[in-house]
Amino acid sequence: MIYIIFPILALIHLGVLFLGTDIFLVRLISKIVPILYLIALSVGEGRWKTRAGIWLGIGLVFSLGGDTILAFPDKYFVFGLGSFLIAQVAYSVSFSWGNPVHFLRLIPYVIFGASYFYWLLPGIAPALTVPVAVYVSAICVMGWRSAAREVSSRDRWLGILGAISFIISDSIIALGQFTPNKLPFHGVWVMSTYYLAQFLIYLSQEEEE
């Protein structure tokens, strides 16, 4: 059912964004329901019975927190960033549990993270320089840990594609936040890649229950 219900819930919010409704509760509720569904599914499927599943659940909960906080004015941006930072750490731990290190697989993520941060740096307020650097590091580590898993080819690629989708989503957010190069339908691009990331990451751990 996840293959039907989650995409429908995600498309409802994308439709709300595309139509540009100004009703705050409609935007907020439609935004958080897909992640609430994954949290409920995680509990119902007993993901909490494994260590990797527990950390996956923690990542979902703090993603929900970040979604909620970022629905409010920009002055709360740093708190939303903090909530998603914890989510990234949780996903990294979930991906890492019982898996090897594979330092070489870190290299492409380091190159991307350092390059993108350097490009964004002129537009980042001094007070946010360290928080943004820490967050970029965390999401790149999450991507690396998804690539370092010794699991089935299906689960590894779902995890890698999910992590890359998360990186793309956060990169689009940073593009709009710290540069004048905001994409048309910015919110639709952010949330479509974000929902795809959460969906793929969740699916990537189905065989580890």
**% of residues, the chain, pLDDT over 90:** 91
pLDDT of 4 higher than 90: yes
User: For position 169, what pLDDT does the model report?
Assistant: 98
Q: What are the tokens at 72?
A: 């409010």
Binned at pLDDT 50, 70 and 90, residue 73 comes out as: confident
User: For position 207, what pLDDT does the model report?
Assistant: 63
182 compared with 158, residue with greater pLDDT = 158
User: For position 208, what pLDDT does the model report?
Assistant: 58
pLDDT of 100 higher than 60: yes
Region 177-195 average pLDDT? 95
pLDDT per residue as tens digits for the range 77-89 = 999 999 999 999 9
Q: What is the largest CA-CA distance in the chain?
A: 47
End-to-end CA distance of the chain, in Å? 18
pLDDT per residue as tens digits for the range 123-167 = 999 999 999 999 999 999 999 999 999 999 999 999 999 999 999
C-alpha to C-alpha distance for 134 and 127, rounded to whole angstroms: 13
Region 63-73 average pLDDT? 94
User: For position 67, what pLDDT does the model report?
Assistant: 97
C-alpha to C-alpha distance for 144 and 123, rounded to whole angstroms: 27
pLDDT per residue as tens digits for the range 163-180 = 999 999 999 999 999 999
Distance of CA 204 to the CA centre of its chain: 14
Average pLDDT, the chain: 95
Region 89-118 average pLDDT? 97
Residue 175, CB half-sphere, CA atoms under 13 Å: how many?
A: 15
User: Which residue, 129, 123, 113, is CA-closest to 175?
Assistant: 123
Region 54-70 average pLDDT? 97
